[in-house]
Amino acid sequence: MIQRFVIGKPFPTESVVLDLPAETGPVPYLTPDGDGWQYVMQEKDIVYGLGEMPRGLNKRGWHYETNNTDESEHGENRLSYYAAHNFLLISPADGSGCIGIFVDFPGKVSYDIGYTRHDTLRFATAEPNYALCLITAPAAAEVAKEFRQLIGPSYIPPKWAFGLAQSRFGYKTEADIREVAAQYKANGLPLDMICLDIDYMQSYADFTIDKARFPDLGKLAAGLKAEGIRLVPIIDAGIRCDDNDPVCREGLEKGYFCTKEDGTPFVAAVWPGKAYFTDFLRPDARAWFGRQYKVLTDLGIEGFWNDMNEPALFYSPERLKAFFEKAAALSRKDNLDQNDFFGLVRSVMGLMNAPEDYRSFYHDTAAGRVRHDRVHNLYGGCMTRAAGEAFQTLRPGQRTLLYCRSSSIGAHRWGGIWLGDNHSSWSQLLANIQMMPAVQMCGFLYSGADLCGFSEDTTPDLALRWLEFGLFTPLMRNHADAESREQEFYRFTDVLPAIRNMLDLRYALLPYLYSEFMKAALEDAPYFRPLAFDYPADPDAREVDDQLLLGEGLMVAPVHTQNAHGRTVYLPEGMKMLRLRSVSDYDEEVLPAGRHYLPCELGEVLLFIRPGHTVPVAQPAANTALLDDTALTFWRFAPDGRPAPYRMYADDGVTTDHNRPEHWRIVGQ
Amino acid sequence: MIQRFVIGKPFPTESVVLDLPAETGPVPYLTPDGDGWQYVMQEKDIVYGLGEMPRGLNKRGWHYETNNTDESEHGENRLSYYAAHNFLLISPADGSGCIGIFVDFPGKVSYDIGYTRHDTLRFATAEPNYALCLITAPAAAEVAKEFRQLIGPSYIPPKWAFGLAQSRFGYKTEADIREVAAQYKANGLPLDMICLDIDYMQSYADFTIDKARFPDLGKLAAGLKAEGIRLVPIIDAGIRCDDNDPVCREGLEKGYFCTKEDGTPFVAAVWPGKAYFTDFLRPDARAWFGRQYKVLTDLGIEGFWNDMNEPALFYSPERLKAFFEKAAALSRKDNLDQNDFFGLVRSVMGLMNAPEDYRSFYHDTAAGRVRHDRVHNLYGGCMTRAAGEAFQTLRPGQRTLLYCRSSSIGAHRWGGIWLGDNHSSWSQLLANIQMMPAVQMCGFLYSGADLCGFSEDTTPDLALRWLEFGLFTPLMRNHADAESREQEFYRFTDVLPAIRNMLDLRYALLPYLYSEFMKAALEDAPYFRPLAFDYPADPDAREVDDQLLLGEGLMVAPVHTQNAHGRTVYLPEGMKMLRLRSVSDYDEEVLPAGRHYLPCELGEVLLFIRPGHTVPVAQPAANTALLDDTALTFWRFAPDGRPAPYRMYADDGVTTDHNRPEHWRIVGQ
């Protein structure tokens, strides 16, 4: 059951698609508490949700603030990451009904989930104008499904977007790109995409191409595509201030940019230096921005990633000026004491993503002129929508790849996300595992973390262990920051055979992974989910924070600690374990329900088939186009001796007619 | 067997106490590799060591650099923390002999332990002048013991230093201190120490007292001592530049400070603004600095902590000036591009602990004038030595509490350490568990992390879980940064009964913990150690990275993940498990060898008694002075039915005559 309560006069976020009447009675389950709501938790109640946020599957024991932030220091103590996913799912330990809470509000929402008091959940919006949707059902899985119905169907990418993507902030020229493609091929590693970071642009200006570095991008794209590799360029939120740039000029002339209080365009510096920011909350500005992608789709580009769309701001000219004045004043002092000195440090760091800047510009929406900070969390998602809407016109009937950094619920209908700028660490591998079901619960099915880690330096074993989980995530991208260790998979020569086996395994599993993704997208089914969703009556299953169910028939239990040669796995029921060194080299064993310590060396992956399930397996291929999903073998666990068939989805992978019944076939009878 | 090899002309670090002849033959086990040494690891070989460093008990899979650094961003990807502990212990999986490696060098040493290549260990010193000590023995425990003999006996604090210490950067006045003491008492929580951070000083100048805030520190100390609470003030490495300060004036007049190339005193800013840095590598300067503690010992102070002794540097006047000039130049530009802007950010951050500054000053040692960076890692330890040597004169025959931030091996003979400026996070709780045996292996027996975490914000459950491990560490201090959440244990009213029970448990276990500490200190025995040290033939014991053996008879297995209600524990042999809610309320069960999932709720602690062992348990007390170690009960695991006696150490806890045989008694027959 979904109940919608309206408090004050909410801004129309368009996050939900169901048109629910506003309830008139009191809000059940929650207790009013000042400007927010309170819920007292029993010790073993679990609170799922919040999508892209730090900490475990169970969000208890921390406070959070949905406030889309360019937070490159991913870690357990951050309050906000790049996205605002205002969904909580309370699963009481006593078996009483589960409660879903969606706070439909475009500004900051703060959550205290056992941070101040261990037993108390509290949340509040920055303003008393919001809609509160309460979903109640006996089981968590039902609440999750009803929520997906409330927010509408998830974005579906082309099938080739389930191949491997290689990316790095630092590929500067056509030669760099060709080198990556050549090395993958030379090393016998599959590849479907190479991403272009901002260096392909002229002076980091959106919708331009640096002709010195990429003399013929269309030819490059076509040549790579012939080898099964798509080029996927980046688009940033800010439009470079440049009177000679036609896009900039048109945006200015037609008034599509966000404005300051005095009506002049808001300016802040990002990668290209000073930039304007399209008012994505306006349909006309969205349409205009979306049309600009044509310069790239005309070159044969079929996929994009949208970045910097929180929007991230390096500095505003006003605040930079104030900083320089402060520095000049301090420079006249003989001896900076600690207050002066750390004040100086804080001043510089505080130039970036300054709250004052977010309070200094405006959107002109159908609901009136509104200051940015009050609708901040909609910005990134509306940029996603700008692109998604445009692709329907630019590439009619065709799927276009799109995944974005910032998002709010609703944007999942237009694109996927990556999990933000993480870093190369074992704790971020665990965060990847724990974040996947949380973002997918919020509709962002096509998602994944930067494998091996974006910033800082990875290691051969971390790269391999991360791949051992990443091979199951819909978006499988290896992406790195400019100053971090080179981490294309072919760099790790000492563990290369194992890396090749794991990449091959991904491709071999695509008939299953793609089918399960399509079930999730078309039927509001789950892809990744906590064990307790399927085994709600099992108290031990509720304890598990680092294993996931994957589609109908599989469970994964990744090794996420360094130097481990195995791990403890909990089986809520008897399952068949596969310990895979490759798609053709594995141990198998039927294990009873319970906890098991299972050896799992570097280069091995543990996979569990649930009873009565069958998994179709293809032969590995160099890219998705070469994958033959008719020549299948089957991994099964049929404890009753009767092999179950598998309902598989197979289509051309590129057109938008997802719903034709002939895409479904029964295999493995 | 210990072999000492001399490469080049090493600086006399005085880290070791055994006078070993230099070997003349080739170095065994290691292969020369450019300017360093290489060792090829088999997949299951373990590399222990490196003391205060990130990552697990097994240091494989990362690179490190011993380069004492004020690294407040503790995390798995840092290369250096506050200490230089150049000891490695290789434990091959094939059962062949273990190898200890001590790199006796006062500058930077870099270690690549499977970072570049998964299977290769490599290390190198910054200069080709060092001693290399190789210790070989059949078992890791023997190597560890021989290493302790090589480096000499560990510092022993007074017994009251095993009580609870409460600290916070932010106690500004006598009233603040009295409030802490009163709240601990009012809430029925034991307490032995309150630490004074830099606010007790006048303008952050060492060896001064702010009389406005602390009108009569001696009276305060005496009053608190009457209640069983010692005041433990901080001393920083830098001496405030102040012509009116007699200590500063004398240091200048007698030339005790480090100098620049031109012979004038080196100046850099720390907490008091500009400061001088005593040349602790000189015996006369050490003696002079040590004498200054008298101003506080004369007030009845019996313990200190030395801080900022890497030395940390906020900025040098030269580099600050250069920064202001750079800022002024940038301020004249119309549009800072990303290189300009991030250059500005890096310039500010780079003012702190700048390598250029460490290369700009000198020490005048018996071995000649030497540039600081070449002996950098000795600085903190020599400050420890300055204090430790002075206390022998200032407080003859008495033990004085001393623990320090920066250290190198050798300093363990003069003081303990805390594990640096950590932060409030679950990953830092695990780091605490994993660092303890590593620093104790290097002689720093009296050690512990800042419980609840120093910077950032703790939570009620983290505070309690951390205490559940911290109650076993020799130094048990709750310490917090100025801007972090208040975290005195009495603040957590919602879990206060459990916190009280855990603190009581610490005091009740002191007869065991103090005895085991004294065995470790007097007999070069281990206190904390990895399971594999005692069960070298058990391959599963080698896998365990988050359980520790504690003294002769106990094993601990702390819960270190949030929202866990239990954990998997590996028992190398049958043990008696105690699940303690308090010293008098617990479950007990004899468990067979193997892996067990054991429930362990918040407020419970798992403790394991090894077969044939007995643990003496006292009644809880409000402080160590009130602890009655004659009224003991005993926890035992006597599978053969014959209770084993326990060899207990008991003395007055304050004098230095540790070695009298009458301090040992046999109890629990």
> Could you tell me which chain A residue has the CA closest to the CA of B45?
A563
Structure tokens, A417? 């996300």
- Cβ-count burial of A477 within 10 angstroms (0-12 exposed, 13-18 middle, 19+ buried)? buried
**Contact residues on chain A for B115, CB-CB shorter than 8 A:** 457, 459
Phi, psi of B480 (to 5 degrees): -140, 155
**Contact residues on chain B for A269, CB-CB shorter than 8 A:** 335-336, 338, 341
pLDDT digits (tens, 9 = 90+) for B581-626: 999 999 999 999 999 999 999 999 999 999 999 999 999 999 999 9
Q: How far is B630 from chain A (nearest CA, A)?
A: 39
**Contact residues on chain B for A423, CB-CB shorter than 8 A:** 77
pLDDT band at A669 (very low <50, low <70, confident <90, very high): confident
Peptide bond into B592 cis (omega under 30): no
Asked if B568 and A58 come within 8 Å (Cβ–Cβ), the reply is no
Asked if A597 and B595 come within 8 Å (Cβ–Cβ), the reply is yes
pLDDT digits (tens, 9 = 90+) for B131-181: 999 999 999 999 999 999 999 999 999 999 999 999 999 999 999 999 999
Residue B627 has pLDDT above 90, yes or no: yes
For residues B472 and B550, the answer to whether their CB atoms sit within 8 Å is yes
CA dihedral of B107, B405, A343, A420, whole degrees rounded to 10: 80
pLDDT band at A629 (very low <50, low <70, confident <90, very high): very high
Residue B335 is predicted with a pLDDT of 85
**Contact residues on chain B for A597, CB-CB shorter than 8 A:** 540, 568, 595
For residues A209 and A219, the answer to whether their CB atoms sit within 8 Å is no
For residues A278 and A303, the answer to whether their CB atoms sit within 8 Å is no
Beta bridge partners of A586: A580
Phi, psi of B555 (to 5 degrees): -130, 140
Asked if A426 and B76 come within 8 Å (Cβ–Cβ), the reply is yes
Pick from B364, B379, B253: nearest CA to B312: B379
* Residue spans per domain, chain A: 2-151, 159-236+277-311+376-511, 318-349, 514-667
Q: How far is A664 from chain B (nearest CA, A)?
A: 41
CB-nearest partner of A320 from B315, B336, B563: B336
Pick from A660, A664, A661: nearest CA to A650: A664
**Contact residues on chain A for B564, CB-CB shorter than 8 A:** 543, 545
Asked if A77 and B423 come within 8 Å (Cβ–Cβ), the reply is yes
Structure tokens, A456? 């800082």
Q: What is the DSSP letter of A280?
A: T
Secondary structure of A305-369 in HEC code, one letter for each residue: EEECCCCCCCECHHHHHHHHHHHHHHHCCCCCCHHHHHHHHHHHHCCCCCHHHHCCEEEEECCEE
pLDDT digits (tens, 9 = 90+) for B183-207: 999 999 999 999 999 999 999 999 9
Residue B72 has pLDDT above 90, yes or no: no
Residue A123 has pLDDT above 90, yes or no: yes
Asked if A349 and B345 come within 8 Å (Cβ–Cβ), the reply is yes
**Extended strands (E) in A138-255:** 164-166, 193-196, 230-236, 238-240
∠B170-B171-B174 over CA atoms, to 5°? 155
> Could you tell me which chain A residue has the CA closest to the CA of B274?
A335
pLDDT digits (tens, 9 = 90+) for A525-570: 999 999 999 999 999 999 999 999 999 999 999 999 999 999 999 9
Residue B560 is predicted with a pLDDT of 98
pLDDT digits (tens, 9 = 90+) for B411-448: 999 999 999 999 999 999 999 999 999 999 999 999 99
Asked if A425 and B77 come within 8 Å (Cβ–Cβ), the reply is yes
Coil, strand, or helix at residue B189?
A: coil
CA dihedral of B610, B614, B616, B617, whole degrees rounded to 10: 60
pLDDT band at B288 (very low <50, low <70, confident <90, very high): very high
Pick from B213, B363, B234: nearest CA to B296: B234
Residues B347, B495: Cα–Cα separation, whole Å = 45
Residues A86, A53: Cα–Cα separation, whole Å = 11
Residues B572, A337: Cα–Cα separation, whole Å = 56
Pick from A525, A668, A504: nearest CA to A585: A504
Average pLDDT over chain A, rounded to whole?
A: 97
Structure tokens, A446? 């096509």
Coil, strand, or helix at residue A484?
A: coil
Pick from A577, A619, A570: nearest CA to A596: A570
The residue behind tokens 């190898």 is B99
Phi, psi of A452 (to 5 degrees): 75, -15
> DSSP of A4-46, one letter per residue?
EEEES---------S-PPBP-SPPSS-EEETTEEEEEPPTT-E
> Could you tell me which chain A residue has the CA closest to the CA of B459?
A115
State the first-to-last Cα distance of chain B, in angstroms, to the nearest integer: 37
Residue A530 is predicted with a pLDDT of 98
Asked if B338 and A75 come within 8 Å (Cβ–Cβ), the reply is no
| Length of chain A counted residue by residue | 669
> Residues B527, B532, B536, B541: is their CA dihedral positive or negative?
positive
Helix (H) or strand (E) holding B430: helix B426-441
> Residues A373, A378, A383, A389: is their CA dihedral positive or negative?
negative
Residue A450 has pLDDT above 90, yes or no: yes
CB-nearest partner of B337 from A60, A273, A348: A273
pLDDT band at A72 (very low <50, low <70, confident <90, very high): confident
Asked if A273 and B335 come within 8 Å (Cβ–Cβ), the reply is yes
| Residue range A159-236+277-311+376-511 in CATH 3.40.50.880 | no
Q: How far is A128 from chain B (nearest CA, A)?
A: 28
Average pLDDT of A318-322? Answer: 96
pLDDT band at A654 (very low <50, low <70, confident <90, very high): very high
Average pLDDT over chain B, rounded to whole?
A: 97
CATH class of B513-667: mainly beta
Pick from A273, A279, A286: nearest CA to A311: A279
Residue B73 is predicted with a pLDDT of 85
- Cβ-count burial of B434 within 10 angstroms (0-12 exposed, 13-18 middle, 19+ buried)? buried
**Contact residues on chain A for B44, CB-CB shorter than 8 A:** 565
CATH number of the domain at A514-667, please? 2.60.40.4040
Given this chain, do its domains B2-151 and B513-667 carry the same CATH topology?
yes
Q: At what angle do helices B317-331 and B338-349 cross, to 10 degrees?
A: 160
As its CATH architecture, domain B2-151 has: Sandwich (2.60)
pLDDT digits (tens, 9 = 90+) for A270-303: 999 999 999 999 999 999 999 999 999 999 999 9
pLDDT digits (tens, 9 = 90+) for B481-509: 999 999 999 999 999 999 999 999 999 99
What is the percent of chain A with per-residue pLDDT over 90, rounded to a whole number?
Answer: 99
Residue A73 is predicted with a pLDDT of 85
Residues B63, B73: Cα–Cα separation, whole Å = 17
A–B interface: beta-carbon pairs under 8 A = 172
For residues A665 and A648, the answer to whether their CB atoms sit within 8 Å is yes
Beta bridge partners of A634: A616
| C-alpha count within 13 angstroms, C-beta hemisphere, residue B324 | 20
Residue A335 has pLDDT above 90, yes or no: no
State which amino acid sits at residue A321.
K
Q: How far is B51 from chain A (nearest CA, A)?
A: 18
pLDDT band at A659 (very low <50, low <70, confident <90, very high): very high
Q: How far is A49 from chain B (nearest CA, A)?
A: 15
The residue behind tokens 């993958």 is A184
Q: At what angle do helices A246-254 and A283-291 cross, to 10 degrees?
A: 170
pLDDT digits (tens, 9 = 90+) for B79-128: 999 999 999 999 999 989 999 999 999 999 999 999 999 999 999 999 99
Average pLDDT of B54-74? Answer: 96
Long-range CB pairs of B30-36, under 8 A, 24+ apart, other chains included = B30/B101, B30/B134, B33/B122, B33/B124, B34/B124, B35/B124, B35/B125, B35/B128, B36/B110, B36/B122, B36/B123, B36/B124, B36/B125
Residues A489, A180: Cα–Cα separation, whole Å = 10
Peptide bond into B311 cis (omega under 30): yes
Residue B669 is predicted with a pLDDT of 86
Residues B227, B192: Cα–Cα separation, whole Å = 9
State the first-to-last Cα distance of chain A, in angstroms, to the nearest integer: 37
Q: What is the DSSP letter of A108?
A: -
Asked if A341 and B274 come within 8 Å (Cβ–Cβ), the reply is no
Asked if B274 and A335 come within 8 Å (Cβ–Cβ), the reply is yes
Residues B452, B458: Cα–Cα separation, whole Å = 6
pLDDT digits (tens, 9 = 90+) for A10-48: 999 999 999 999 999 999 999 999 999 999 999 999 999
Residue B637 is predicted with a pLDDT of 98
**Contact residues on chain A for B600, CB-CB shorter than 8 A:** none
B61 φψ region: left (φ > 0), alpha (ψ -120 to 50), beta (else): left
